[in-house]
Structure 1
Amino acid sequence: MAEYLSPGVYVEEYENLPHSMEGVATSVAGFVGLAERGTAAGAPVLILTYPEFTRKFGGYLNEAAFGEYRYLAGAVEQFFQNGGSRCYVARVLPSDARSASYDNGQLSVTAANEGSWGNRVELYFVEDSKKGLTIQVMYDDEVEEFAELNLHPESANYIGRRLQDSRLVKLQYKGPNEGEDIPLPGNPVAALLGEGNCSIRLEGGADGTKENITASTFTGTDEGPGKRTGIQAFLENNTVSIIAVPGVTIPEVINSLVAHCESIQSRFAVLDMPRDISDVRKLIEFREMIDSTYAAIYHPWIQNFDRANKKPGYFPPSGAVMGVYSRTDMCRGVHKAPANETIACTGLNINFNKGEQDILNPKGINLIRALPGQGIRIWGARTASVNTAFKYVNTRRLFIYVEESIKANTGWVAFEPNDANLWNRVRLSIDSFLNTLFRNGMFAGASPSESYFIEIGPTTMSPDDIKNGRLIMNIGISPSRPAEFVIFRITQHTAESSS
């Protein structure tokens, strides 16, 4: 309240409209997998295009070296090919992966992260008596240049300080031994590399082997902020809403991914099945390993061009499916089932028929099928659960969207006076948001009252709740469900029967 000390006319502005609410993003994907290069600990890395992925993480991995664990690059590419726009990537490593390095006792240089890619990193040193030392860091076509460097630790251009900005290497200058003078500006290269040398090449980098890949490689560890790995790294990300570990069908990994999604309740897992399983009973047995409304499972694998083998190959569908999720969300809305949607591929490794789908669909296995005259389409929209209330993928994802949107837009409520005025403001804000969703066709029902309800006040809070600072409200929505079974009843009509 303003303080008035002299006569006059005063104008005050006050907020009378309900707080506006915006829906959260639902189309951002998360990937966990092996890559040629890139950071393997800390927050997942944002990727906006496949070329950006190759710059930061490299390309397709070799099939002979990594087998069924090599599909991250292909999955990310297919995510963007199918309409995806944003994703985050967490790289994982075999336990025997190593960083390339160089160390001569005076100068220590290590590749920015593990992998044989570091063996192609070279550093060129050029001395200039006027401008100081210049270092060029080269990796394939990528070049970083650091000019006017020196070896004095107190200088702003100290070599160890300036090269902290390098994306390719970590450099440490150990300096002269105790009692020795700091090298003069005229001989920095000789001081670093010895007389007659002007370049170095890193060596000893290793990608690791598939024999040293286990379930824990993907499930990761939680050693605190900045040190989390694998699936656990996504605890540092609040944006990703769909997530996959492409091609990895180890039961421990699948259960860990599903448990991660169920724990945070704002993320949905897209799962693959083992590539060559075609027997219906074995597929059902694999599917029954989990029961969660926060996951969906897809089969069979899809055919696309394999950049590593330079010929068509089969890939797990999860990356492409998440691209379809993203495309459907952006074009139609999260309430639309991501099914009966084309998927960008040239074939399937198994062609299931209608009879087999009649068995698999009720079990929550979403098939991808080649349909005559319609192309290759996702032909299922079930969650991997027996819970009929959340039978469909879009139902669970719609609830995630509504819950997270309300959570993200009601932070202003904290520490406000918990009285009827606040209850009314909160109700108006949420009612406005839900009414917009109703008008966009996201709910079933012919009117708002049939589509959702909001309860807040004495019916939802006791005096004890209010005394203890609890604001409680009940919200119910009626989600639209897909027309999974389209039935036409046709009878013969003759002129005689109509007379």
Structure 2
Amino acid sequence: MPQYLSPGVYVEELPGSRTIQGVSTSVAAFVGPTRFGPTSGRPELLTSYADFVGIYGDPADLRFGDNGQFRNHVALGVKGFFDEGGASLYVVRAFAHRDTGAPEDDHGRTRLVSPGEDPDASPPPAGLTLRARFPGTAGNLRVILTLRSGNDCLVQPNSGPALTRVREFDTVWAVTGGSHPAGSVNVVRRNPADGSWFLSGESRIDLDDVVAVYPISVLVEVQRPTTDARGLPVFGPTVTVGEFGFDPRPIGTGLTTVLTANPPTRRQALTVPLAIEGAADLLAAGDPQDAAAAALAQLLFGATLETASNPATPPANRQRVVTLADGTDGNAPDVTEYEGMPTFADYQDDLTALPFNGLLAIEAIEDISIVSAPGSSTGWNTDPALGTPIAQAIAGAVVSHCERLLYRVAALDAPPNSLPTTVLDYRNLRSSTHAALYFPWLVVSHPIEGTRITVPPSAYMAGVWARSDNTRGVIKAPANEVIRSALDLELRVNKAQQDLLNPEGVNCLRYFPGSGFLVWGARTISDDPEWKYLSIRRYFNYVERSIDQGTQWVVFEINGPALWDAVRQTVEGFLFTEWKNGALLGRSPEQGYFVRCDESTMTPDDLDNGRLICQIGIAAAKPAEFVIFRISQFTATTQS
């Protein structure tokens, strides 16, 4: 209580009534193999297919070392998710290193050597190595290094020669005078005593001893390997990584600072596709000029550096193009990679990021409500030695993750090339209120090749869920919705076949003339009839999580009648809005829900142990799955 000690007017702010805001139900997470991208660390929120391609690569096929070539179902699923109406997505890359003992062996790489040196010599020649930051065949990049030079920055004011348009630690090409002008790589430094500029070289170079100073940098561009419309390997469009100087300081933006295994910013860590190894050896000498000169000499060669004196030199004459090699997509990921491993290792070796891999990486992201592992039911998830389907183990891991995290639901795929009876056997392997199974696979157009391909439906269904949530609300069953991406279905299910599958919780995708390809099922794979409808499971997740988040203010408040009334009013206000929106049954609020929080819900033992118990009941509206019109014939009568 405030103290009033002297006469006056006191203005106080009092808290108003608390409200509960409904949480999002349309944020999805996909786990599976991709062509490129980080293998550990918290995933970044993606809001478009272009965001995914920039980090994880395009949808060209994957090439697993132990199983051959397979469709890139995660990339295809991400495109399908956004095409179907999804807006927010997290992706976790599942990667299985080859059994080489060194995670970096799966990265594309090349050693930069001077002309005439043998890169395979033993011992190898001293030099820099370019390495893809992430594993994958998409890491076999074509790297284009271009020398960039600016106009002469040496000026001659009355007070003597000076430099303009440069900063300390900038790298320059300094041309000395004489009958045979020569140039050298130098670093701009400032005298701390009087603030004057000088150039650091083999020895200190005063500005009086040079006739021209050209700022130089290196433009780094990459082209990613992909396939063309015929499926042949080609390099994609040129993408600029950045233009870099050679500032050696850790706080700088130089080449040897940004192009590392762990760049200084989160954006660089996701979008810079390559690293330069061996720079630490160059910096060991301690002289910035020596490091810059050595790096430039290995990156571009001396003849290229001499073109710095002429900024108009065509780019083709000041470029070096190298191609990284030996990057692989690793082995086909097993259930271990999908679940996540506390002992996972990768090239980044960031101890704070390594524990976040597989499903472990998304446990701490509270917004996620939909989880899928697109493609995990394909043929490469079968162990030929044991003859047991790894696909079911991966599906089980995803479902267990959703059950443990409470407010998540898994979208599952039936195995490809399945018949209704085999799908039924697959579904009967597990029961869960937190999962929905879809059959059959979809036929869509490949975004690169333009050919018709079959893809698992779960990622596309996640997009349909998100679209239905955003347009109609989570209480609306995500069914009788058009599948926008579908060109056809792997198998056109008929009514008799769905009569077999629907009661068991297999959601069928159907074709109806005039309507197109529709989602024609909205059930979970639960044997509990109270939770057989997907919309009911997801709606209760929405209500429970909204109340959970909206009542955190209650913790440590005084546990008495005033608090009980406040909690009851807060929850009732939220449920009244839900009833008005049609999510709850009843012609009056009292028929749609009840909220009790008083002496009848708590015992003295509860109060002594700090427990506040609020009992809530809701009558959620269920979908009209069977629409029945009873029609009878009657005889008309005449009235006089």
TM-score by length of 1: 0.92
Q: Which residue in the other structure is 1:45 paired with?
A: 44
| Counterparts in 2 of 1:305 and 1:423: CA distance versus 1, 3 Å | same
Task: List per-residue Cα deviations over 1:274-327 (Å, max 9, x = no partner).
Answer: 11111x332211001110000000000111102354311111111111111011
Instruction: Quote how far apart the aligned CAs of 1:195 are.
Output: 4.8
Residue 128 of structure 1 aligns with an amino acid whose one-letter code is V
Q: Please say if 1:317 is aligned against 2:457.
A: yes
| C-alpha contact (below 8 Å) 2:109/2:327 kept by paired residues | no
295-304 vs 463-472, greater mean Cα deviation:
463-472
- Quote the Cα distance in structure 2 between the aligned partners of 1:155 and 1:259: 44
2:621 aligned partner, one-letter code: S
Q: In the alignment, what sits opposite 1:170?
A: 275
The alpha carbon displacement at 1:64 in A equals 7.2
- Contact residue 365 and residue 380 of structure 1 kept, 8 A: yes
TM-superposed CA distance for 1:332, in Å, is: 0.6
Partner of 2:605: 464
Note the alpha carbon deviations across 1:55-76, whole angstroms, 9 max, x for none: 2212213277665562111111
Matched, 1:229 2:357: yes
Distance 2:481 2:620 in 1: 20
Residue 238 of structure 1 deviates from its aligned partner by 1.3
3-state SS in 2 of match to 1:175: helix
RMSD, matched Cα: 2.6
C-alpha distance in structure 2 between counterparts of 1:341 and 1:444, whole Å: 23
Whether 2:339 is the aligned partner of 1:203: answer: no
Calculate percent identity across the aligned residue pairs.
Answer: 33
SS in 2 for 1:404: helix
**Contact residue 61 and residue 71 of structure 1 kept, 8 A:** no
Q: In structure 2, do the counterparts of structure 1 residues 148 and 309 end up closer, same or farther at CA, with 3 Å as the change threshold?
A: closer
Contact 2:107 2:139 in 1 (8 A): yes
Gaps of 5+ in 2: 99-104, 113-125, 148-170, 174-212, 224-237, 305-319, 344-350, 378-390
| CA-CA distance at 1:184 after TM superposition | 4.1
Task: Tell me the equivalent position of 1:444.
Answer: 585
Q: Offset of 1:38 from its aligned partner?
A: 1.1
Tell me which of 300, 305, 316 is aligned to 2:440: 300
Contact 1:124 1:135 in 2 (8 A): yes
Q: Could you tell me how far 1:120 is from its partner in structure 2? A: 1.5
Distance 2:31 2:438 in 1: 17
CA distance in structure 2 between the partners assigned to 1:493 and 1:25 by the alignment = 51
Residues 361, 339 of structure 1: CA spacing in aligned structure 2 closer, same or farther, 3 A cutoff? same
List aligned pairs for 1:399-410, cutoff 5 A: 399-410=540-551
Change (3 A) 1:180 1:231: closer
How far apart, CA to CA, are the structure 1 residues paired with 2:585 and 2:421? 36
Residues 295, 427 of structure 1: CA spacing in aligned structure 2 closer, same or farther, 3 A cutoff?
same
Instruction: State the one-letter code of the partner of 1:460.
Output: T
Q: Distance in 1 between matches of 2:430 and 2:639?
A: 55
Change (3 A) 1:131 1:99: farther
**Corresponding position of 1:10:** 10
Greater shift, 484-493 or 322-331, is seen at: 484-493
Q: Secondary structure of the residue that 1:423 maps to in structure 2?
A: helix
Structure 1 residues 121 and 456: alpha-carbon distance in aligned structure 2, compared to 1, 3 A threshold: farther
**Equivalent-residue separation in structure 2 for 1:177 and 1:83 (angstroms):** 50
CA contact (8 A) 1:451 1:478 kept: yes
- Say yes or no: does 1:139 pair with 2:222: yes
**1:496–1:245 distance in 2 versus 1, CA, 3 Å:** same
Code of the residue aligned with 1:207 in structure 2: it is T
- Higher mean C-alpha displacement, 331-340 vs 222-231: 222-231
**Structure 1 segment 354-393 matched on structure 2, within 5 A:** 354-393=495-534
Cα shift readout 1:4-27 (whole Å, capped 9, x = no counterpart): 232122232212x32121111001
Secondary structure in 2 matching 1:435: helix
- For residues 56 and 639 of structure 2, the distance between their equivalents in structure 1, rounded to whole angstroms, comes to 71
Q: Give the superposition deviation at 1:101.
A: 2.8
Contact 2:61 2:71 in 1 (8 A): no
Give the match for residue 239 of structure 1: 367
Aligned counterparts of 1:187 and 1:179: Cα–Cα separation in 2: 12
Identify the residue that residue 115 of structure 1 maps to in structure 2: 136
The higher radius of gyration belongs to 2
Correspondence list, 1:473-484, <5 A: 473-484=614-625
**Cross-structure match for 1:428:** 569
Q: CA deviation at 1:147?
A: 3.5
Judged with a 3 Å threshold, the aligned counterparts in structure 2 of structure 1 residues 241 and 67 are, in CA distance, closer, same or farther, namely farther
CA pair 30-185 structure 1, distance change in 2 beyond 3 A: closer
Secondary structure at the aligned position of 2:281 is classed as: coil
- CA distance in structure 2 between the partners assigned to 1:200 and 1:276 by the alignment: 45
Q: Report how far residue 154 of structure 1 moved.
A: 7.2
SS in 2 for 1:492: coil
1:184-224, Cα deviation, whole Å (9 max, x unpaired): 488344555585386463523423255x4323232322458
TM-score by length of 2: 0.72
Aligned to 2:246: 149
Give the AA of the match of 1:18.
Answer: S
Instruction: State the match for 2:29 in structure 1.
Output: 30
1:235-284 residue CA offsets vs partner (Å, 9 max, x unmatched): 13211111111121201100000000000101100000011111x33221
What SS does the aligned partner of 2:23 have?
A: coil
Do residues 160 (structure 1) and 265 (structure 2) align? no
The amino acid across from 1:421 in the alignment is A
Q: Is the Cα contact below 8 Å between 1:110 and 1:202 reproduced in 2?
A: no
More moved, 170-179 vs 32-41: 170-179
Matched residue type, 2:7: P
Structure 1 residue 485, shift from structure 2 partner:
0.8
Counterpart contact for 2:62–2:329, Cα < 8 Å: no
Residue 106 of structure 2: aligned partner: 98
Distance across 1 between alignment mates of 2:402 and 2:251: 49
Could you tell me how far apart the structure 2 residues matched to 1:498 and 1:205 are? 93
Q: 1:479: how far off?
A: 0.9
> 2:596, 2:619 → 1: CA distance?
15
Aligned mates of 1:37, 1:3 — CA distance in 2: 63
Counterparts in 2 of 1:411 and 1:225: CA distance versus 1, 3 Å: farther
TM superposition shift of 1:491: 1.4
CA contact (8 A) 2:59 2:72 kept: yes
> SS of 1:171's equivalent?
strand
- What SS does the aligned partner of 1:340 have? coil
Contact kept in structure 1, 2:95 and 2:330, CA below 8 Å: no
For the 8 Å contact 1:190–1:197, the answer to whether it is kept is no
User: CA-to-partner distance for each residue in 1:18-59, whole Å, 9 max, x for gaps?
Assistant: 212111100111111221211111212211111222222122
Structure 1: distance between partners of 2:436 and 2:283: 61
Assess if the C-alpha contact under 8 Å between 1:33 and 1:69 holds in 2: no
Whole-Å separation in 2 of the counterparts to 1:373 and 1:157: 59
Deviation at 1:493, TM superposition (A): 2.6
Moved more, 18-27 or 300-309: 300-309
